[in-house]
Amino acid sequence: MLLVGGLEGYLRGAGWPKIPPGAVFTHNQVYWVEPANLTLEAVPHKEIGSTFRVSTDQNGLRTPLHTVQKPAGTFRVMTLGCSTTFGWGVDDAESYPAQLESILTTEGHEVEVINAGQPGYTSFQGLWLWDKVLAEYAPDVVIFGYMVQDSRTVAYSDHSQALLQQNGDFLKENLLHQFKAYLFLKETIDSWRTERKESAEGGVQRIPPDEYVANIRAFASRAEAVGARFMLFGFPLERSGYTEGHRAILHAAGAELSVPIYDPQPEIERRTATETLYFPQDRGHANAAGNRAIAQGMAQFLVSGGLVK
């Protein structure tokens, strides 16, 4: 015990861990949310040289806008994800969550869709936002759509950045991480995650496979805690590419947890051979037609699987 206490004092006095000189993080912040209470705000889309209109609620969640408190008798579907779920590049009514709500209500289903997609998000940020505010929306179905950003190769994983920057919110949620002796021993054994790991791609994934699995399990547990059905969504890109590894993990997690999984990647790839479903200048984001195709497929999956009323 004395040895551990001495190590703790030494590491604190030495200011450990230190951010390496010249360290570049993909995002300057560990956690963030879009500005609240926007009304048709013109947001620039630099790649295509135009703007798109964005409206948000009091918590920075994008249209469809609904009250935080769920009205009695209301059935809610919550879509989780990054800018692809948020609807980067398209106007409010054209995002996949907005079109999903429109399709379901037109078909006679009394459903509210909560668009919990946030640009740049991984499942790491998503868990923080869930605990901070998303659970208050009391969804009946939770669609886990994190993949695109989780798969990206960067210099430091999200977990590493939180440790290096000693983020307060992260430390409060992970009490042991406040003790530098614990971190030093753990991370030395684990080859010290907060150092850049060299790989064939020149870095690490924002959410490495083991953390991705843990985050999926954590979300499944949180959804169950609020009485919601949990499902996995392999958000489609024009080409699967770098998401293939995490996509395989998603399918394995679906089998392990015995939860529904919808992955339209093969269908979307087939359709993009003849249809323009993504921005030619920004192939990572679906255009209005692409969001429509995704929403139609999701609506059919939810209805056929008995996930919506």
Q: What is the pTM of this model?
A: 0.85
What pLDDT, on the 0 to 100 scale, is given for residue 290?
98
How many Å apart are CA 203 and CA 309, to the nearest integer? 45
- pLDDT for position 295: 98
pLDDT of residue 198: 44
Rounded Cα distance, 13 and 233, in Å: 46
CA distance 17 to 11: 8
Q: What is the pLDDT of residues 134-169, one digit of tens each?
A: 999 999 999 999 999 999 999 888 887 877 776 667
- Regions of the chain with pLDDT less than 70: 1-24, 166-168, 170-202
CB of 204 within 8 A of CB of 153? yes
Q: What pLDDT digit, counting tens, does each position of 93-143 carry?
A: 999 999 999 999 999 999 999 999 999 999 999 999 999 999 999 999 999
From 209, 231, 220, 64, select the one nearest 150 (Cα to Cα): 209
Domains in the chain with CATH codes: 1-25+158-198 (no CATH), 65-152+206-309 (3.40.50.1110)
Q: Which residue is associated with the tokens 């953390």?
A: 211
